[in-house]
Amino acid sequence: MVTQRTFLGRTFQLWEYHVSHGSLLIRSPKSLNETTNIDIICSGIEYLSVPRFIFNLEVTEPTLEEFQNLQTIIRSPVPISYIHVLVSNGNRFLVVAASFKIVENTSDIFESPFDNM
C-alpha cells in the first residue's frame, strides 16, 4: 500500500465501479512517462462526488462543514474515517467509503483488483 497522498503530474480517472458491491477503482494508468499504475481502491461506497478526470491529486481530510453536510445528504451517521477528500487543482471532491486504499502496481491497464470478487 502507498502512504503517499499527493500525486502531482499524474492524471487519475474513474476507471471502474460495481454497483452490486459498492466497489470503485480510480486509476492513474501507467504510460510512456510512468512505469506504474496508481490505484485508489474503495469498497463500501456510500457517496461519490468526483469528476471523470482528476488532475494533480491530493488526498486529504474533510472539513467540519463537509462532514456536517454529508451527515445531512446521506441521512445516517457517517464515521469521519469513511470520508475521503480528493483535491484536484484546488477543487475538493468527496468519497465516502468503508475501505479506501492507494496501491501502486505494474498490472496491465485492463486488469482489475475486483476480478476475483
The domain segmentation of the chain, as residue ranges, is 6-105
Strand partners, 18: 23
φ/ψ (deg, to 5) at 113 = -70, -10
Rounded Cα gap, residues 30 and 59, in angstroms: 20
Q: Is the pLDDT of residue 115 over 90?
A: no
Average pLDDT over residues 105-110: 92
What integer pLDDT is reported at residue 117 of this predicted model? Answer: 59
- Among candidate residues 57, 110, 48, the one with its CA nearest the CA of residue 82: 48
Average pLDDT over residues 13-35: 94
Please write the tens of the pLDDT for every residue from 62-98: 999 999 999 999 998 999 999 999 999 999 999 999 9
Report helix, strand or coil for 75.
coil
What integer pLDDT is reported at residue 46 of this predicted model? Answer: 95
* Cα dihedral 87, 92, 93, 95 in deg (nearest 10): 80
Residue tagged 482528476 (cell numbers): 54
What integer pLDDT is reported at residue 12 of this predicted model? Answer: 98
Under 8 Å between Cβ of 54 and 88: yes
Neighbours of 38 (CB within 10 A): 20
